Amino acid sequence: MRPVENIVVLTGAGISAESGLATFRGPGGLWEGHRVEDVCTPEALHRDPALVHRFYDARRAALDTVAPNAAHRALGRLDAAWPGELLIVTQNVDDLHERAGATRLLHIHGELRSALCAACSKRRAHTGDLPPGSVCAACGAPALRPDIVFFGEMPYQMERIEAALADADLFVSIGTSGAVYPAAGFVQTARHGRADTLELNLEPSAGSYFFAQTRIGAASALVPAWVNSLLA
């Protein structure tokens, strides 16, 4: 590995699997019997707001029953100790990275513990259920929705991510299938810069071909080992 100063880490559902949060495309995928189109698209929200709000209320409530695992904690240690640039880009909408101490973190697909106003676009921390028609404290419209980036909507902070990738010496992808863009394309952006690329995953992802190195195994084993080697 070349000397490393600036790191971008991408995480997906696989990093939270060992905390007990189901992944999306594994056996018995997360969607709890729902097709993605039924709960994670703007059309679904318009067609059946109660179903979509209930689906995310259930996932938000589940956060109280899970805890960060060794992989989240290792990234928290890296965040606290790393002297160079670090950006953890998570596709996950859980708060396990935060609870493990990560601060240099962004949620590209939104967050369960946040509500978005469909009228004024204000995002605000939210715990507990979020019934359809909940009133926005900023603009007063009964227009709060789950702060989740649905398929077909624009992911958050793409410019900041692209800038970090262009300046990265190392790009590490953890626990993601490489099935959903734009996140699945980050490895290629990183390679167009000067970044070395490493994938840590339970199985080769759809994008494994683009990584200089792929390590196969559970995040709770691979991520602490990788962080320890970096901080040594």
x/- map, 74-113, ligand APR, by CB under 6 A:
-----------------x-----------------x----
Torsion of CA 181, 205, 210, 195, to 10 degrees: 80
First to last CA, the chain: 14
Q: Which of 19, 23, 114, 173 binds ligand APR (CB under 6 A)?
A: 23
CB of 16 to ligand APR, least distance (A): 9
Rule CB under 6 A: say whether 17 interacts with ligand APR.
yes
13: Cβ contacts below 8 Å, ≥ 6 apart: 21, 22, 23, 24, 30, 91, 92, 175, 176
Cα–Cα distances (Å) from 96 to 68, 100, 102, in that order, read 5, 6, 9
Rule CB under 6 A: say whether 205 interacts with ligand APR.
yes
Q: Which of 68, 146, 155, 175 binds ligand APR (CB under 6 A)?
A: 175
Q: Which two tokens stand for residue 177?
A: 């299938």
- To the query of whether residue 46 is one of the catalytic residues in this protein, the response is no
Binding site for ligand APR (CB under 6 A): 12-14, 17-18, 23-26, 91, 109, 175-177, 179-180, 201-203, 205, 218-219
Active site residues: 109
